Each structure stands twice: as C-alpha cells, then as structure tokens.
Amino acid sequence: MSHTKEWKVRLYLFEEEGTTKARVVLDTGTTALTGHGAAHCNPADTDVPEIGDELAAGRALHDLARRLVNTAEGDIEDTDTSGTRREAPAAIGWPM
C-alpha cells in the first residue's frame, strides 16, 4: 500500500506595529490548514529582524502542527468502528 503525495506549505511573514506575524498554509490538494504565530521584540533588546522572523515562523509552524494532529485525531475517532473510544497515549518526556 505504498503511495506518494505532495503537500504544499506557504509561509508568509509580515511586520505590523512592531510585531512580526507569520501565517503558514498547508495545502493537501483537498483541504487547507492554517497556522499563525507572532513575535514581539522587547524594547530593551537589540532589534534583530531575523530572530523575530524565526520566532514567528516557528510559532506558526507549531500552531499548524497542533491543528494537523488534532484533525488526524478527529478523523481517527470518526472512523473508529469498534464502538470503543481510544485513550490518549501517555505523554513522552519530562512531566510539565
């Protein structure tokens, strides 16, 4: 059951009133998901635009990843025909 797909990701960065904002769009060909992120420069810090871009983009990608996983989990629940609900796996890593 091997298959290959290409999903397209577009990342948009823009500056608005001292805030770097990012929007990332995942296009699967049948659906699109969008993630958002932002970064603010502390007035006491040196303004390095690349850092704001990196933070905003990373946060937007993190938001997109969370939305994609939530969508997949919802799809799993929708297709589960056993009548029993799956338990979420235990978290991996250090406790928070």
DSSP string, 49-77: HHHHHHHHHHHHHHHHHHHHHHHHHHHHH
Whether 88 has a pLDDT exceeding 70, the answer reads no
Q: What angle do CA 69, 87, 7 make, to 5 degrees?
A: 15
The answer to whether residue 90 is domain-embedded is no
The answer to whether residue 96 is domain-embedded is no
Q: Per the structure block, which two tokens stand in for 43?
A: 């007035």
Amino acid 47: pLDDT: 86
**CATH number for 56:** 3.30.160.240
The answer to whether residue 89 is domain-embedded is no
Distance CA(69)–CA(73), nearest Å, equals 6
Q: Per the structure block, which two tokens stand in for 37?
A: 């992120």
Higher per-residue confidence, 88 vs 20: 20
27-31, 69-73, 75-79, 80-84: least confident range: 80-84
The answer to whether residue 88 is domain-embedded is no
User: For 28-50, what is each residue's pLDDT tens digit?
Assistant: 999 999 999 999 988 898 889 99
The answer to whether residue 45 is domain-embedded is yes
Residue 28 belongs to what domain range?
8-79
The sign of the dihedral angle between the CA atoms of 2, 73, 13, 39 is: negative
Q: What is the count of structural domains for the chain? A: 1
